[in-house]
Copies of this chain bind each other. A is one copy, B any other.
Amino acid sequence: RAAGALAAAAVTAVALAVAAWRRARPVREVLFFPSPPCCIEALLAEAAEPGAPARPCPCPLPSGDTALSRLVRRLLSARRSLDLCLFSFSCPQLARAVQLLHRRGVRIRLVTDAQYMGLHGSQIGRLRHAGIQVRHDQHSGYMHHKFAIVDRRMLITGSLNWTTQAIQSNRENVLVVEDAEYVKAFQEEFERIWEEYNPANYSFFSEKQ
């Protein structure tokens, strides 16, 4: 009987250790697109009211595990800050996730490209209207990055512009990495750009060509 109890205790200890290791293991994920269209309502609802009873969404889209749903899940894991550096942002689903985080008190900063933010379908105006801080370049070159940093801890970067066309139709990649060295390099790049694009630094002798 003592041996049995000991064995059970050992099994529990190993299970707990594995669970702790899983939690502590840094995220390393590669997402490839195109992603099939999917419903993210359940993810948004759970993020808005954790633990609330799930209400089925009437839309016809499946709510499976896709590259898009994984990307949304990573974004919604933000608790304190979300720094976005995006060439083009027109996907309404991703804009809703960002707005939800903003309402939840997460500090959002968004850097984007001046030429692209005015295009039809851009979500930048809506996000600004919601009170999110946005800064853009004032140069002839493109602000062509497509990265996000969650809680100064997790880097999300790749080829994907945040557009429905790119998500559903293009061959794209996104890396999700919790790696202090990479996060630091991108965080520093973000801070450089954020400062450079401070409206206080605007020159009204246009450099645009």
Contact = CB atoms under 8 A, between A and B. Distances in A.
Interface stretch (A39-47, A56-64, A119-127, A169-177): A169-177
B173 A182 contact: no
Contact of A189 (B32, B142, B147): B32
A185 B30 CA distance: 7
Contacts of A166: 142, 144
A186 interface: yes
B159 A172 contact: no
Copies of this chain present: 2
Interface string A129-158: 000000001011111111100000000011
| Chain A residues touching B, range | 20 to 34
A173 B86 CA distance: 12
A193 B170 CA distance: 12
Nearest to A171: B143
A175 B182 contact: yes
Q: Which of A28, A32, A165, A171 has the most CB of B within 10 A?
A: A171
A181 interface: yes
Contacts of A170: 141-144
A145 B171 contact: yes
Nearest to A142: B170
A189 B173 contact: yes
A185 B172 CA distance: 13
B175 A157 contact: yes
A142 B169 contact: yes
9 contacts: A32-B185, A140-B169, A142-B166, A144-B159, A144-B160, A147-B173, A157-B159, A157-B173, A173-B189
